[in-house]
A and B are shown apart, each in its own frame.
Chain A
Amino acid sequence: MNKKADINVLKAKAREIRKEIITMVYRANSGHVGGSLGATDIVVALYYHIMKHDATNPMWAQRDRFILSKGHCTPVIYAALADCNYFPAEDLKTFRRPGTHLQGHPFQPKTPGIEASTGTLGLGISTGAGMALGAKIKNERHYYYILCGDGEIQEGQVWEAAMFANKYKLDNVIAFVDRNYLQTDGNSEKVMPLDPLKPKWESFGWHVQEIDGNDFAEIINAVDEAKRATGKPSMIIARTVKGKGVSFMENEASWHGTPPKKVEYEKAIKELDDGV
């Protein structure tokens, strides 16, 4: 099982994962960098500090589960799973290539460590709620961590899942909204306003926190508090910077699904190496 890494280790990991994200998308000339970079700190906090999991035994019944509901951000989860040894790092070179197990969007039957298939937005909380309900029925005590995008939660299904998780008091669900205020067509408040978001989730019966989703201490503390809030599902609204870590990608809608060109790739890697 993984050990809890301290914050400096997490920061170093996040930098490595970010480089891998850029490299994967550059190599494939296809994929989503912005939302992957922004969510890196949440994924790193989960896989290297918060979650109980064991890459040598991916089907270990007591493991915590992670569902990437914003399924376009496969680069971040593939990079983390490879680094945790769920599959060889070599495989990352096959991302989005014919025959690969590393599909553009998560495909649970093929990829070790991927817990649920997603890709069309809005599925994750429902699937996670079903799994969490199953765990309750079986009296199992692990957690289901679900990462949604803020654009994603405009989907009606998300709110159906919100009602369901509340009805069955699924306090083994700890969900995140990656609140970067950006989606494909631009600023979320222009495309389809979501604010005020906290009271929406509260009125659906969830325990809700707002944090800085690029701050490890806040992520870790929020999960601790979510675990203490028994009897309710938990939503952590994590304010993040889309494209985090690469200056020219930060807060830029245009980096949602555009692969970097050679010069941009080299510049991005250099920035991450220099720790700018």
Chain B
Amino acid sequence: MEYKQTRMGYVDGLLELARSTPNLVVLDADVAKATKTAEFEAVYPDRFFNCGVQEQNMLSVAAGLALEGFLPFASTFGVFATCRAGDQLRNSIAYPKLNVKIGATHCGISTGGDGASHQSIEDIAIARSFPNMTVLVPGDYEEAKQCTLAAARFKGPVYLRFGRDAYPVVKELHAKFEIGKGKLLRNGNDLTIITTGVMVSEGLIAADILAGENYDVRVVHMPTIKPIDRDAIVASAIETKRIVTVEEHSVIGGLGEAVAGVVSEMCPCFVKRIGVKDVFGESGEANELFDKYGLRAANIVDAAKQLLETEIYIERK
């Protein structure tokens, strides 16, 4: 399997855009080597602005640049973009609906050794709770690049979520990307696995395992968390009657709750959420943490089997 960093997809997207988008500028807050925007700076030093360790200032500066007609991509770790600079994200950018893009890297527990202080597991919840905010969570390098290009074309604030690690390249994702549209990766009628971000590869492995046990499992990937693809969710709920959501994020406020929100209003069915279970992470390597925090295909299969095989769910249907 090939592995590639989603943050590289971000920067390769920016480099591609820069040629045709003269008003594009990139900001960073002393983590340009980590977000990889240093590679943009190397090519376009005049269109790159390092704000130092000042995430709050950076987001409001980006708002100012947008007001002057620029297309700013403000880059930092997810935890700083949404928590340290949460007010600036809300009141400088989302509320006035400014055309600012936030490139948030090092999201999820795969940030690894830095530990809980740096592992952003609440950023989807925070970003999607702000009116006017579009939230994109790509699954691999190529999709990260697609999301970056699409964010530039879209008018309005966009939160882009990337990781630190190298993640599996998932060929099935590389079809057309459209904001607000899920991607049907496997069709099936017994149960739907809905993934977002880099958990897509585990979701597909889980679907294969279940297929081996003669279950007909659908996989829908959601690179857009907001606006969520309601049609795909409703169809899955009606046609498969069981949903497992999978995300590298807290089970609170992320994909799982977005899906549950749609389902509970329109077509109630059981939704099991795989994610970080309302606990802070810890230091460790990404792989170790995925195991420890239950973000593996095996965990998805377990949840799916509960819905498919245990009486409590079958009888209550």
A55 at interface (Cβ–Cβ under 8 A)?
no
Q: Which of B258-310 contact A (CB under 8 A)?
A: 282-284, 288-289, 292
User: Is the pair A104, B118 in contact by a Cβ cutoff of 8 Å?
Assistant: yes
Chain A residues, CB < 8 A from B117 = 71, 103-105, 107, 117-120
Report if A154-B118 is in contact (Cβ < 8 Å); known contacts: A30-B112, A97-B284.
Answer: no
* Interface 9-mer from B52-60, B63-71, B223-231, B240-248: B52-60
Interface segment among A3-11, A38-46, A79-87, A183-191: the answer is A183-191
Q: Does A192 lie within 8 Å of B54, measured CB to CB?
A: yes
Residues of B within 8 A of A117 (CB): 117
Residues of A within 8 A of B137 (CB): none
Contact A98 B50 (CB under 8 A): no
Report if A185-B30 is in contact (Cβ < 8 Å); known contacts: A99-B282, A104-B283: yes
Q: How far is the CA of A161 from the CA of B234 in the complex (A)?
A: 51
A-B contact count (CB 8 A): 96
Q: Give the distance in Å from the alpha carbon of A28 to the alpha carbon of B57 in the complex.
A: 34
Interface band, chain B:
20 to 34
Q: Write out the residue numbers on chain A whose beta carbons fall within 8 Å of the beta carbon of B57.
A: 156
What per-residue 1/0 map shows which CB atoms of A138-156 lie under 8 Å from chain B? 0000000000000110111
Query: Are A105's CB and B30's CB within 8 A?
Result: no
Contacts of B38 in A (CB 8 A): 185
Is A121's CB within 8 Å of the partner chain B? yes
Identify the closest chain B residue to A156 (Cβ): B56
Inter-subunit contact B33/A28 (CB<8 Å)? no
Asked if A154 contacts B80 (CB within 8 A), the reply is: no
Inter-chain contact B116/A152, CB cutoff 8 Å: no
Q: Does A122 contact B (CB under 8 A)?
A: yes
- Taking CB atoms, residues of chain A closer than 8 Å to B79 are 120
| A107, A155, A185 interface centre (most CB from chain B within 10 Å) | A185
B239 at the binding interface (Cβ < 8 Å): no
Do residues A192 and B115 form an inter-chain contact, with CB atoms below 8 A? no
Flag if A191 contacts B284 (CB, 8 Å): no
Give chain A's interface residues, CB within 8 Å of chain B: 28, 30-31, 71-72, 95-100, 102-105, 107, 117-122, 151-152, 154-156, 183-185, 188, 191-192
